[in-house]
Amino acid sequence: MPPIALQLWSLKDDVARDFAGTVARVAEIGYTGVELAGYGNLDARGVRSALDAAGLKVAGMHVIAPVLRAEPERVLQEALLLGTKHITVPWWPPELFVSAAMAERIGEELNAFGARVRAHGIQLSYHHHAHELQRFDGRTALDLILGAAEPRNLAGEFDVYWLQVGGVDPVRALRDYGARVKLVHLKDETELGSGPVNFDAVFAALDEIGSVDWQIVEQERFNHEPLESVRRCYEQLRAWGRV
């Protein structure tokens, strides 16, 4: 069963104030890894020290495309410093998805960067939202992005909530892409178990495909203070037998 990490965007205000103290509390909850979305109030070396002190691994790091274009070598060296095997592009502006050809060009650009980092043992993935699930000639933009790249150069970080919201069955998507899925975001309307996602079926699909390195909790809407919410997510995963 893949280990459980927390996407630190869920605690973006906390890590901006005190990265080290926040990740120490994340570790106390029981998470074994984190996915980075920036470094909060530290630099890459400070993040490595804070995570080592907390006993947490770096499941992956989110890096937007403009940074990859402008500073590819810095991104690569920081990934190596942090000991992660995954870099994920987390966002592409919705207004750029105007045609199948445009989606394919995005995939081609990602393929080139993916080949570069793969040479250093790092997997590039793309994290979708709902807007990549719009269709052009019967295919989703996500299908077109991934289809324009070599599987070894570009994997998928599938988000089960955004699949659901975008009208795509998460279970079918996971099974259709199978080994192409290396990371998965476990997300719901608010805390896990609070919304439309059928997690029993999702977990069965994840166990079936067997390719996922990390199950990553992400939360963007809260019924409680963020740290309490991510604690409740972890406890829900425990109740489901996933940790």
- pLDDT of the residue at 111: 98
Convert the pLDDT of each residue in 160-203 to its tens digit. 999 999 999 999 999 999 999 999 999 999 999 999 999 999 99
**Cα dihedral 38→44→46→51 (10° resolution):** 70
Nearest partner of 216 among 195, 197, 190, 237, judged by Cα: 237
Task: Output the pTM of the full model.
Answer: 0.96
Q: What is the mean pLDDT of the chain?
A: 97
Which residue shows structure tokens 């199950």?
215
Q: What is the DSSP letter of 22?
A: H
Alpha-carbon span 167 to 86, nearest angstrom:
27
Residue range 4-239, CATH number: 3.20.20.150
pLDDT bucket at 35, cuts 50 / 70 / 90: very high
pLDDT bucket at 2, cuts 50 / 70 / 90: very high
- pLDDT of the residue at 94: 95
What percentage of the chain carries pLDDT values higher than 70?
100
Judge residue 6's burial from the number of C-beta atoms within 10 Å of its C-beta, 0-12 exposed, 13-18 middle, 19 or more buried.
Answer: buried
The angle that helices 44-54 and 72-82 make with each other, rounded to 10 degrees, is: 20
- pLDDT of the residue at 53: 98
- pLDDT of the residue at 90: 97
Mean pLDDT of 19-27: 98
- pLDDT of the residue at 44: 98
Convert the pLDDT of each residue in 118-169 to its tens digit. 999 999 999 999 999 999 999 999 999 999 999 999 999 999 999 999 999 9
Residue-range domain boundaries for the chain: 4-239
Convert the pLDDT of each residue in 206-223 to its tens digit. 999 999 999 999 999 999
- pLDDT of the residue at 84: 98
